[in-house]
């Protein structure tokens, strides 16, 4: 699994690409924990965080776990950027 991070126009983007399996899950788990910690801090500071273009399996996990109430989810990067504007 490849995890990339970049910042453009003051917006930080983190992208996961590849297969999530037993070998890559510890790295993904750590990144998601950091993401949730960051989401709480961002919300506390009146900032915004949006998850964009999730595959259906990942989107379902976020919805079932209740994280969608903390972090909005959009279908595309473009709609996520619009929500942040």
Q: Which residues pair with 80 in a beta bridge?
A: none
Report all structural domains of the chain as residue ranges with CATH numbers, in order of start: 2-84 (3.30.750.24)
**pTM for the whole structure:** 0.69
Question: What does the pLDDT look like over 6-60, one tens digit per residue?
Answer: 887 778 788 878 776 767 777 777 777 887 888 888 889 998 889 889 888 888 8
């Amino acid at each position: 699994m490849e995890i990339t991070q970049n910042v453009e126009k003051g917006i930080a983007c983190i992208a996961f690409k590849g297969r999530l399996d037993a070998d890559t899950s510890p790295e993904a788990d750590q990144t998601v924990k950091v993401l949730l910690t960051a989401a709480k801090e961002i919300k506390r500071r009146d900032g915004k965080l949006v998850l964009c273009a999730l595959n259906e399996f990942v989107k379902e996990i976020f919805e079932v776990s209740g994280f969608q109430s903390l972090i909005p989810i959009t279908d595309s990067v473009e709609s996520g950027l619009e929500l942040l504007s």
